[in-house]
Each structure stands twice: as structure tokens, then as C-alpha cells.
Amino acid sequence: MLKTLCPCSFQRYSSLSILGPIVDGFSAWLVEQRYNHSYLRFRICLLPYIEAVLIRRGIRHISKIDKADWAACRKSLLGRFPNQSGTTHALERYLHAQGLLKQKPELVSTTARYLAAYAHYLKTVRGASASTIRQKSCTAAEFLAYVKIDKYAGRLKTLTFKELEAFVKLISVHFTRTGLRHIVAKLRCFLRFLAVQGEVPQGLDHQIDSPRVYREEHLPSTLPWETVQAFLDSIDQSSAVGLRDFTMFFLMAVYGLRASDVIALSLDNIHWRAGKISITQKKTGVVLELPLTDAVGTTLHRYLKKLAPPSPFRQLFLRMKAPLGTLQIAAVSTRFQFWARRSGLEIPGKGSCHRIRHSYAVFLLRKNTPIKAISDILGHRTLESTWTYLRLAIEDLRDVALPVPTEPKNQKAVRA
């Protein structure tokens, strides 16, 4: 592969003392990640500069490279090639994937010990999912950094409620009342764990004020169904990226799927002969059996036919730019915002693509679909979740409003 990319200078790179033996495999790996050849050749050209930094640091073999060496290489490239410093990251990923880097034992910090014990507690005692553990550990890490636990090992023993309030006040500027309420709940959970371990005084978790959030005080955002259809029509399907985005949002509009369900769709979920799509919802774990309509089948067939060469992934929706990989949930909302701006439609906020799901629920209600059927289609465990969506039927609520009583014209007002 290296000789194909650099027919005139491949010997220069293959003769490098440290990186020479892996250059050919590294170039083949970059091709698999779908980097274009011009960009790939430029990355190969940077390998002599990386090796020069390693040699100056006394490195003679790949297995001896540590994090400080990678940081030095990155800093050197930032000075000469600011836009290509990611080459060291790509090289590090390749060496890790091939098992060529020796994992050196690192000193475990006090924060790491607390977080490891907390994650084990959440998993074994509380039965929390992996995503919940990540979220709660993130809040715990921020709190431990605030109290500087690595510098003051016995800091938690003297913790007071005033310091807790100061921490909540510090982070409150980054969240709304609803978001801050979740942060406070995660902090309370961590304090209860520390209290059980005997690390903090008992009862601190009850001394944190939580912001008042009233149930159903805000209506979920929704769009008129005509706007949803106009939004889909505005997506340019001539490119592979546009066709991918259209297919994602079309599935969300037809079935009311969440973004997490869309990016998890794989070829194994589509049963062409049975005429159905089976989805295990990421949020609830509920298994949905949805009919594979002609419109959906045609859209999926057109999208799969236009995909670039086959990839090792089974997921339907992948990144169209290198490195190759599956989409993240945030990417779906980002693409929704991009096409919402391009469409020129009146889409308030132009934020989350979840409003398509809300709009789909109201659309089914307009078609006189029973609420139980709507709940089953959306994959809700209880009807209460569905009722939250159907509060968006504002026009229907106006029909049930009672007339405002008026005072008779001939009746005089009575003074109190």
C-alpha cells in the first residue's frame, strides 16, 4: 500500500528506524478508515518529523513510547503543521489497535479510586446502567476536583453544607432549573455513597437545596405536520450525506423513533421477507415490531444502494467522513439543525430533532388513533408518558374551553 501511495519516496519512510516497520500497515489502516489519498500521503510525510522527536527523547522502539512522548510529538507538529497535529492521534490509535504499545501501569490517584468504587457501587448495589454510571461519575468527578481531593486526602472528613452550596452555586450558571435539579440529585447520590463508606458526615445529602421544577410546567416542542413534510422535502438527496440524513429523519417521521433508536438500526433489524422492522429501544428496552411499508422499503433500498464500498459495520447510518465509524446521538441533532437552517422554515429554536417524535404523536391523534395504540407505536411503558406528548394538541383543547361568564347589562354593581 505504501508503494502505491508514494511510489518515488516509499523507501525513505520504510527505512525509518522506529516507525519504518509499521508504515505500510499504518497506510493500509488509514485507507480502511476512508481517508482520501492526498490527505493520507500528507500524514505519511509527517512520520519522519514524529520519529525525530522520539529520537531526541531517547526512544528507540515503539513499545517504549508513553503519553509524555505523544504529547511532545503533538506539540512539535502544532508548531510546524498546526492543522495536521492529529497525525499523532491517528498513529497512536493504530498502534493501540495492533497491540504494539505496551500498557504501562499508571499511578492511581485518589479521585480515580473514589470513582472506581462509586462505579462498582452503582453497578452492583443500585443496578444502574452504563450510561447512568457515566453521568453520575462525571458529576462525582467534578465535585472531587472542586474539593481538591488529590491534594488534600482527608478533605471529605471535614466537609460542610456551606461548601456543598458553594459548589452548587458555582455550577448552576451552566444549567437551567431542570438541569440543575438532575445535578443535585446525582450529587446527593454520591454523598449517600460516601456516607455509607464513612468518608463524609451523615445527613449532608439532605442539606442541599434543589430548585423547584413543577411537573408539566412546559409543553414539549412540536411542529405542524405540514412543516415536518416540508422539512423532509427541503433536504438535498443528491449527495450521500443528504440521502443519509433524509433517510434518518424519514424513519423518525414515519415511526416516531428517537435519535438513539435510529443510529442503533442495523441490517439485522430489517426483515425484508417478513415485511417488518424490529427495534429494541435504547431508552426503555422495549422491543418494537413495526411494519416495513413500501415507502420506507423504497427509501432504505435507495440509501443502501448509494452507499460507498461495504464497511465492517452492520449499522445503517455511519460517518461519511474519515475516520469511519457509527454516528453519535449528538450528530443527529446537529444535522437536524443544519437542514432546519437551510430549509428556511419557521422551526422555533431549530434545536432537538426529538420534536419530530412529538409531532408524530399529535399527527396520530389528529387521525383519531386510540391513545393506547399511540403509546404502543411510540414504545411507551405507560400511558402517562403518552399523555405528556398529547398535551400538544392545542387546537383540540380550545374546543373544550367554557365561555367566560359576563355580567348582565341591567344589573348594577353592589358596593361592598
Of 43, 244, 355, 357, catalytic: 357
Active site residue 389: yes
Residue 76: inside a domain: yes
Residue 62 corresponds to which cell in the numbers above? 515503539
Residue 403: inside a domain: no
Of 244, 258, 319, 358, catalytic: 258
Active site residue 301: no
Q: What is the pLDDT of residues 100-156, one digit of tens each?
A: 776 655 556 889 999 999 999 999 998 888 878 999 999 999 999 999 998 887 888
Residue 205 has a CB neighbour count (10 Å cut-off) of 20
Residue 349 — left, alpha, or beta (φ > 0 → left; ψ -120 to 50 → alpha)? left
The CATH number of whichever domain residue 124 belongs to comes to: 1.10.150
Active site residue 283: yes
Asked if 211 and 181 touch (Cβ cutoff 8 Å), the reply is yes
**Based on the domain organization, do 127 and 17 belong to the same domain?**
no
Residue 33: inside a domain: yes
- pLDDT tens per residue, the chain (416 residues)? 666 767 676 677 788 888 888 888 888 888 888 777 777 888 888 888 899 999 999 988 888 888 888 888 888 888 888 877 788 888 888 888 888 776 655 556 889 999 999 999 999 998 888 878 999 999 999 999 999 998 887 888 888 888 888 998 898 888 888 888 889 999 999 999 999 998 888 888 888 877 777 665 565 577 888 989 999 999 999 988 999 999 999 999 999 898 889 999 999 999 999 999 998 887 777 788 889 999 999 999 999 988 755 667 888 998 887 777 888 888 898 999 999 889 888 876 556 788 888 888 888 888 888 888 888 888 877 777 777 666 655 555 555 455 666 665 555 544 54
3-state secondary structure of 152: coil
**Based on the domain organization, do 292 and 268 belong to the same domain?**
yes
Residue 214: inside a domain: no
Q: How much is the pLDDT for 82?
A: 80
Residue-range definition of the domain harbouring residue 69: 2-97
**Based on the domain organization, do 350 and 312 belong to the same domain?**
yes
**Based on the domain organization, do 114 and 186 belong to the same domain?**
yes
> What pTM, to 2 d.p., does this model score?
0.69
Measured in degrees and rounded to the nearest 5, phi and psi for residue 266 equal -130, 175
C-alpha–C-alpha distance, residues 413 and 345, integer Å: 51
Of 283, 302, 341, 366, catalytic: 283
**Based on the domain organization, do 270 and 374 belong to the same domain?**
yes
Active site residue 64: no
Residue 334: inside a domain: yes
Q: How much is the pLDDT for 98?
A: 83
- Pick from 163, 178, 207: which residue ends a domain? 207
Of 13, 94, 255, 389, catalytic: 389
Sign, Cα dihedral of 128, 131, 134, 136 = negative
Of 12, 123, 188, 354, catalytic: 354
Identify residue 240 by its one-letter amino acid code.
Answer: A
Residue 104: inside a domain: no
**Based on the domain organization, do 63 and 123 belong to the same domain?**
no
Burial status of residue 243 (CB atoms within 10 A of its CB: 0-12, 13-18, 19 or more):
buried
Alpha helices in 307-354 (DSSP H): 329-343
Residue 409: inside a domain: no
Percent of the chain exceeding pLDDT 90 equals 24
Active site residue 212: no
Of 34, 319, 358, 380, catalytic: 380
Active site residue 354: yes
**Based on the domain organization, do 316 and 339 belong to the same domain?**
yes
The CATH number of whichever domain residue 251 belongs to comes to: 1.10.443.10
Number of domains in the chain: 3
Q: What is the pLDDT of residues 282-298, one digit of tens each?
A: 777 778 888 999 999 99
Smallest CA-to-CA distance from 380 within 393, 394, 390 is with 390
